[in-house]
């Protein structure tokens, strides 16, 4: 599979850092919570800044930017050539066009891998996880995040965000709910590839911020604010419930 074959057209574009693009929302929405989570997880696992961290499905380089700011030697890989160009234009790291199904690295050559909001978009997550496991050194760390497959995630991410006319702000083909993976399923999948899942946290909105988040959604839908602004008005946090989305770590045995 060549990089471009496996790149979804939605992601194969250069607007990642444009505040008007839905892609930029990912940055202002998720990075305030996943950035500190990922850097803390790497520190806790003893992955220091001399270590090589691979960001699988790096998109416009949002997570790579956080890691690079924290001093890590990051290599982002993504099948979308346009995303690679965009990441190179905005982030001082190395970016390589490649698919997660066929990582251009030798066995056990990487200290840590991040794979955030990617597995729900690939044809067969099992193949990508097997590849991640192959390139990770024993004891190496995988940090992952993705949406859960629950009634609530369907309501919020599909019905409200992609379908319901007054609130839809994302492309209707962005997420296919049936591709979402439950934490228990991911744990088993990872285990099949010698990755032992440790801590898993939900990523959720604080209840007291819900009115502001709904107001931001309406303002975005009516073009009063940008995706970047809307994302920054929705304050996500780590939570115990994983009903909408989750983030966690796994160690390569
Ligand atoms: C929702 S975006 C997430 C981007 C980035 N990880 C982030 O969170 O900012 C999904 C990314 O997965 C990439 N992708 C799609 N299929 C892939 C594959 N088979 N292997 C690796 N990345 C893939 C897309 O090109 C896109 O950049």
pLDDT tens readout for residues 172-228: 999 999 999 999 999 999 999 999 999 999 999 988 888 998 899 899 999 999 999
- Kind of pairing between the strands at 195-205 and 236-239: antiparallel
Q: Whose CA is nearest to atom 27 of ligand 1?
A: 59
- DSSP E strand stretches across 192-244: 195-205, 236-239
Choosing from 7, 22, 114, 121 the residue with most ligand 1 atoms within 8 A of its CB, the one to mutate for a pocket test is 121
Q: Please report, for the chain, the start and end positions of each structural domain, with discontinuous segments joined by +.
A: 3-146+176-200+246-252
- Kind of pairing between the strands at 195-205 and 245-252: antiparallel
SS3 52: strand
* pLDDT tier, 4 (very low <50, low <70, confident <90, very high otherwise): very low
Nearest to 36 by CA among 143, 147, 190: 143
In the reported structure, the alpha carbon of residue 211 is separated from the centroid of ligand 1 by a whole-number distance in angstroms of 30
Residues within a 6 A CB radius of ligand 1: 6-8, 11, 26, 56-59, 62-63, 78-80, 83, 99-101, 116-118, 121-122
* Cα dihedral sign, 169-220-247-117: positive
Q: Whose CA is nearest to atom 26 of ligand 1?
A: 59
Question: Which residues does residue 52 pair with via DSSP β-bridges, in sequence order?
Answer: 73
pTM assigned to the model? 0.96
How many angstroms separate the CA atoms of 118 and 245, rounded?
Answer: 13
How many angstroms separate the CA atoms of 231 and 111, rounded?
Answer: 31
* Residue 101 near residue 1, CB atoms below 8 Å: yes
Tens of pLDDT along 144-166? 999 999 999 999 999 999 999 98
Q: Provide CATH code, domain 3-146+176-200+246-252.
A: 3.40.50.150
In the reported structure, the alpha carbon of residue 208 is separated from the centroid of ligand 1 by a whole-number distance in angstroms of 31
């Amino acid at each position: 599979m060549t990089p471009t074959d496996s790149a979804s057209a939605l992601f194969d574009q250069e607007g990642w850092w444009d505040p008007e693009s839905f892609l930029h929302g990912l940055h202002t929405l998720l990075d305030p919570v996943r950035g500190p989570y990922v850097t803390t997880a790497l520190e806790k696992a003893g992955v220091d800044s001399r270590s090589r961290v691979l960001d699988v499905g790096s998109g416009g380089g949002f997570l790579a930017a956080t890691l690079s700011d924290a001093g890590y030697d990051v290599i982002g890989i993504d099948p979308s050539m346009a995303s690679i160009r965009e990441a190179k234009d905005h982030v001082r790291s190395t970016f390589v066009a490649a698919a997660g199904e066929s990582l251009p690295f030798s066995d056990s050559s990487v200290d840590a891998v991040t794979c955030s909001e990617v597995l729900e978009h690939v044809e067969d997550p099992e193949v990508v996880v097997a590849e991640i496991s192959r390139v990770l050194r024993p004891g190496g760390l995988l940090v992952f995040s993705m949406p859960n497959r629950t009634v609530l995630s369907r309501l919020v991410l599909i019905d409200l965000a992609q379908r319901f006319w007054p609130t839809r702000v994302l492309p209707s083909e962005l997420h296919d709910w049936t591709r979402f993976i439950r934490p228990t399923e991911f744990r088993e999948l990872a285990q099949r590839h010698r990755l032992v899942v440790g801590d898993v946290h939900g990523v959720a909105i604080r209840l007291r911020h819900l009115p502001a988040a709904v107001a931001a959604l309406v303002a975005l839908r009516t073009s009063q604010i940008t995706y970047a602004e809307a994302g920054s008005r929705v304050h996500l946090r780590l939570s115990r419930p994983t009903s909408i989305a989750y983030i966690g770590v796994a160690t390569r045995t």
